[in-house]
């Protein structure tokens, strides 16, 4: 291949690749408008706490590593549901966990949540007492957040489980899989 032809092709493919990225990052901002309507400000995407990546894109799926809640005096995200946390406090912990998930998803989408097609699956784990059976009510905090933002496409196939321990004393941890536009 001649040198000039190679760079001409490279220039054309670079332009096409950048056009594709531009199409994804300059959307209508429908989801950003919805977040504003709901009074939601996403936190910065938290970094990993150990040797893993916070998300992985494979094809048109984004796999988001387990996220934990945002802890505050108003909405505690640390502790054990059924012991020192109520179901309502657990619900708020799951909701703020959902905010961290959305922050990771936004990062994975190059800042444009309009690329989201649907939430495929979430797996929620609640740190709770041995006899606590309302883990689904707790994980609703994240499920309802996603539904409120994305509509029916925010609802996912889901599991909600209880456990005796989670890292850093967090009240819940949620893993998720999302379909996005490539």
Per-residue pLDDT of the chain (182 residues; tens, 9 = 90+): 444 433 333 333 333 333 333 333 444 599 999 999 999 999 999 999 999 999 999 999 999 999 999 999 989 999 999 999 999 999 999 999 999 999 999 999 999 999 999 999 999 999 999 999 999 999 999 999 999 999 999 999 999 999 999 999 999 999 999 999 99
pLDDT given at position 28: 53
27-180 topology per CATH: 60s Ribosomal Protein L30; Chain: A; (3.30.1330)
Residue 19: per-residue pLDDT: 32
Task: Count CB-CB contacts under 10 A for residue 38.
Answer: 11
- CA–CA separation, 146 vs 19, rounded Å? 29
Q: Concatenated DSSP letters for 30-62?
A: HHHHHHHHTT--PPPPPPPSSSS-SEEEETTEE
CA distance 37 to 32: 9
Q: pTM here?
A: 0.84
Spell out a b/e string for 95-110, using b for 16 or more CB atoms within 10 Å of the CB, else e.
bbbbbbbbbbbbbbbe
Q: Tokens for 182?
A: 């490539």
Taking CB atoms within 8 Å and a gap of at least 24, the contacts of 27-30 are 27/112, 27/114, 27/115, 28/114, 29/114, 30/114
CA atoms of 182 and 178, how far apart (whole Å): 12
Query: Under the phi-then-psi rule, with left for phi > 0, alpha for psi from -120 to 50, and beta for the rest, what region is 78?
Result: beta
User: Quick one: tokens of 116?
Assistant: 């989201």
Please check whether residue 153 is in contact with residue 97, taking contact to mean a CB–CB distance below 8 angstroms: no
Q: Output the pLDDT for position 69.
A: 98
């Amino acid at each position: 291949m001649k040198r000039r032809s190679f760079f001409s092709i490279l220039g054309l493919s670079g332009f096409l690749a950048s056009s594709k990225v531009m199409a994804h990052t300059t959307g209508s901002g429908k989801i950003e408008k919805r977040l504003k309507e709901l009074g939601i400000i996403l936190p910065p995407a938290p970094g990993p706490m150990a040797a893993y990546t916070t998300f992985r894109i494979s094809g048109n799926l984004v796999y988001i590593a387990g996220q934990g809640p945002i802890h505050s005096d108003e909405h505690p995200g640390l502790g054990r549901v059924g012991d020192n946390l109520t179901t309502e406090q657990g619900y708020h912990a799951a909701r703020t966990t959902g905010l961290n998930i959305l922050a990771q998803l936004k990062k994975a989408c190059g800042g444009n949540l309009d690329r989201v097609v649907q939430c495929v699956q979430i797996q929620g784990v609640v740190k709770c007492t041995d006899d606590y059976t309302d883990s689904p009510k707790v994980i609703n905090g994240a499920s309802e957040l996603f539904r409120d933002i994305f509509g029916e496409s925010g609802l996912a196939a889901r599991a909600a489980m209880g456990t005796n321990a989670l890292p850093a004393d967090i009240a819940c941890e949620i893993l998720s899989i999302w379909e996005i536009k490539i």
